[in-house]
A and B are shown apart, each in its own frame.
Chain A
């Protein structure tokens, strides 16, 4: 067994040192009736590395993926380009195979990378501070709601229906067992009216926070100023969620609107889609709430000789100290993804992030311009995601099938995400800088072809 270094002689002599003759004696404290006979579990036989590669390789090649397909899928996961250097850096054994940096003197690499990550995320979102990650966007939003309830000592959480339904569902689930109540303010992709004023009116003196996604789940962008004003009036927190953080290379970030907490996905900043994980949840807030923040944070300090160094800090919030009174139960987070993002963002810099965002937005704009008249795009301003309304669900599904034939994942049937039959003719479409002009031409061509028989 290639992962086990001992020889039989090592084992024998080590047992002898302990005063044992047989390995079974090491398990004498387990009641005999619970001990298994070796080799009796119903598992496949041991496999060589070559056999494993073959098994997994076959399974991998049975999938379609964004390397072969033109990917117009979004809803929280985006196919942005990740330079090889990012993967190289996080493949370094010193980053990859380190534990949580509890011994800072021999973990300064991870710690400095975390500090750089926190700084970049705070700057990208224009927030005071960021933590060292949450599991994903959905749990990050849930933790934001819990934090807002701690800060305000209120129970009511108000969410816009235009918050990604998965973030919403996980947040409702996290809150459901701790009392309080949740209000959902209706919103629809095709409503021409600005939904923000009515959301602002729903904030009251019992409201812990309002959670709004920006750009929202349907890809729309709205000015959030009325929410800030209403939150100030009623003492509630403004929580701004997001799905594709590249947006803030181009449009004003959550901090611009005075967000108290900004939370969402960092997957778009250098993490492969990987069928949903591992991704990363970003979490940033105002300095004054830092002691109510969930998750690990890295802080700057000095060593015994006055030299700069970094440590995990504010740990009195955390489970290993505070136990049942901790701000969160999170322990392992998405550490390696922080390093990936710090690396990716420094390769891009301000100019590169803006360029990614410009191209992602331009691709969507070009796509919208080429839509046949029978297809209605959602109204309003969009970054890189929108909803296309088809004359009916059958046509939409025919288009999805035809597009797949042309190596295009055309979008996500909206009702599969929202569970609303009113969305059964809607398609959620996203673009990134990977989508070329030719991809869009092909998309439009298939769309026109699919609609042609109607003429």
Chain B
């Protein structure tokens, strides 16, 4: 048995052993309700587990302290600025947590009778309507579990639309080289072949390149607007027209919807199908990697192909429709990430028609303000107006032997979560900064000051702090190569000291 370790918190810095290292004999199990039993039911006799799993059971005070101490090693939006480009890390209203935990939602079973969940269905229906209105694409599925899942669903629908027209040779999806990695991965999963579109020198879609790739095998163009350089594709109408004339459809990656929410609608621009990352635009918490939700909004043409189940209103009743003739079918085990979706609706309701556009206005103002303050100290690959995020590179700092990773790690020592780094792939040493609408001017100025301080230090040749960074957290840079070369994904030691290897 591993020695039980305790680590005190000194000056709010602490170590915290793994749960498995804290394991001790479990003197009594948690008291539980229900039907106590001395023995397992006899039909199970020949199936009984012979060797316990080896999951340490600790008392509640120990468990709570363990996880709270772990939590204190995390940066979160509630603890500080989180300017990750393309991730839209905005404040997550606390009332959303109360809502999702209301027993009428949290304790509803997905297969309880439809007439016993009318309240919940009415809200989900309301969300469908709202997302349809906001995107200008009136038909919405709430089911996709995340943005990438939404992409898969969207491409499946586009494929089905072509097939239904007898145009079943269209299996190519055009994806700009600036796109999120999920775009080509989702297209592949939908059985499509991706062709990469090279961006123009301004980081925008190059119409000549687009035209040269359009043929009778192209099912769709997947595009992100504003794109991942943070700039709006102003030729969006021409792009959509070209794709439509060639018989294809336009898929919109809604990851950057925060830039235009309430200001303009993808559907009006000619986009046929769009997923919405509600964990970005509509402030549902990221949870350290999820859960998110990726509803997909489509126009009339694609509506018949929406996945099932669907939520429909029939008179005063809300119905869950589980089968539709042209549907692409089910893509998830339930109707969706309901708890996440309710939070998104609450955010939309808080802003309402009066204020929704102010999300985009402040988000875009903040990004342009940062761009303006940093544009002399950092290389700006694509100058001009940006939308909700701005793109810089490490070109100037490279001269001093400092690269994007070092700059990012130095930001940690200065009290900020780094921006998105090395994305998009079309510029060398990318730094993509997205402040969102929920940051104060004071925070944004402090971030800009920190960035300028880093740039000045580089100019003065004081680069060692960058190369050593981070030094403030309780861990320095972690060896990712070692982790990948010989992966250790589970704790190898058992409570009895033996190793758990089983090959």
Contact = CB atoms under 8 A, between A and B. Distances in A.
Contact of A4 (B66, B186, B438): B438
Contacts of A297: 487, 489
Given A17-B369, A56-B342, A60-B119, A27 B489 contact: no
B109 A73 contact: yes
B29 A351 contact: yes
Contact of B333 (A107, A146, A166, A275): A166
Contacts of B122: 59, 62
A278 interface: yes
Nearest to B191: A177
B461 interface: no
Contacts of A36: 262-265, 357
Interface stretch (A194-202, A228-236, A299-307, A387-395): A299-307
B387 to A, nearest CB: 8
Given A56-B99, A109-B71, A313-B483, A355 B107 contact: no
A278 B334 CA distance: 10
Contacts of A35: 263-264
Given A44-B352, A109-B71, A112-B73, 8 more contacts: A14-B441, A35-B263, A63-B104, A130-B489, A178-B189, A330-B149, A348-B30, A351-B57
B337 to A, nearest CB: 4
A274 B105 contact: yes
Contacts of A330: 146, 148-149
Given A104-B475, A105-B409, A277-B339, A53 B107 contact: no
A103 interface: yes
20 contacts: A11-B365, A19-B372, A29-B384, A40-B353, A43-B356, A62-B122, A63-B104, A94-B78, A99-B82, A106-B470, A167-B333, A296-B289, A299-B484, A335-B291, A336-B285, A339-B288, A343-B63, A348-B30, A349-B55, A361-B40
B433 interface: no
Contacts of A325: 188
B230 to A, nearest CB: 11
B201 interface: no
Interface in B407-423: 408-409, 412, 417-418, 423
B133 A41 contact: yes
Instruction: Name which of B106, B109, B437, B500 has the most chain A CB atoms within 10 A of its CB.
Output: B109
A11 B360 CA distance: 13
B373 to A, nearest CB: 7
B165 interface: no
A252 B50 contact: yes
A329 B106 CA distance: 29
B365 A15 contact: yes
B33 interface: yes
Nearest to B279: A332
Given A31-B237, A59-B104, A97-B92, A331 B120 contact: no
Interface in A217-233: 221, 223
Interface string A1-43: 1111110001100110111000100111111001110111111
B12 interface: no
A447 interface: no
Contacts of B476: 105, 303-305, 307
Interface stretch (A148-156, A181-189, A203-211, A243-251): A243-251
B362 interface: yes
A420 B263 CA distance: 49
A321 B334 CA distance: 30
A162 interface: no
Contacts of A265: 333
Nearest to A84: B60
B10 interface: no
Instruction: Report the 5 A-B pairs with minimum CB-CB distance, sorted nearest first.
Output: A349-B57, A276-B334, A335-B289, A336-B287, A60-B104
A343 B336 CA distance: 24
Given A105-B412, A106-B412, A409 B107 contact: no
A432 B20 contact: no
Interface in B14-42: 16, 18-20, 26, 28-30, 32-37, 40-41
Nearest to A91: B97
Contact of A319 (B34, B182, B437): B182
Instruction: Name which of B67, B89, B122, B237 has the most chain A CB atoms within 10 A of its CB.
Output: B67
B211 interface: no
A170 B290 contact: no
B303 interface: no
Interface in B170-195: 175, 180-182, 184-192, 194
Given A278-B340, A324-B188, A331-B182, A52 B104 contact: no
Instruction: Name which of A30, A118, A137, A172 has the most chain B CB atoms within 10 A of its CB.
Output: A30
Interface stretch (B110-118, B244-252, B395-403, B450-458): B110-118
A100 B75 CA distance: 11
A169 B373 contact: no
B76 interface: yes
Given A67-B107, A118-B490, A313-B483, A52 B346 contact: yes
A124 B438 CA distance: 42
Nearest to B126: A44
A328 interface: yes
Contacts of B187: 324
A350 interface: yes
Interface residues of B, number: 199
A303 B120 contact: no
Interface in B310-351: 328-340, 342, 346, 348-351
B263 A27 contact: yes
Contacts of B221: none
Interface in A315-342: 315-316, 318-326, 328-337, 339, 342
Given A38-B262, A75-B111, A249-B53, A6 B440 contact: yes
Instruction: Name which of B263, B265, B364 has the most chain A CB atoms within 10 A of its CB.
Output: B263
A270 to B, nearest CB: 12
A359 interface: yes
B13 interface: no
A319 B473 contact: no
A275 B110 contact: yes
B120 A435 contact: no
Given A29-B231, A40-B353, A343-B63, A173 B36 contact: no
Contacts of A278: 145, 290-291, 337-340
Interface in B39-65: 40-41, 43-44, 46-58, 60, 63-64
A263 interface: no
A150 to B, nearest CB: 12
Contact of A67 (B103, B368, B503): B103
B287 A335 contact: yes
B355 interface: yes
Instruction: Name which of A17, A52, A66, A275 has the most chain B CB atoms within 10 A of its CB.
Output: A275
B198 to A, nearest CB: 14
Contacts of A362: 34-37, 40-41
A116 B18 contact: yes
B377 interface: no
A97 B285 CA distance: 5
Given A277-B338, A302-B479, A435-B35, A63 B117 contact: yes
A329 B331 contact: no
A210 B381 CA distance: 51
Interface string A76-95: 11010101010111111111
A310 to B, nearest CB: 8
B353 A43 contact: yes
Contacts of B117: 63-64, 275
Contact of B487 (A11, A299, A355): A299
Interface string B379-401: 00000110100000000000000
A380 B43 contact: yes
A55 interface: yes
B146 A61 contact: no
Interface in B233-261: 234, 236-237, 260
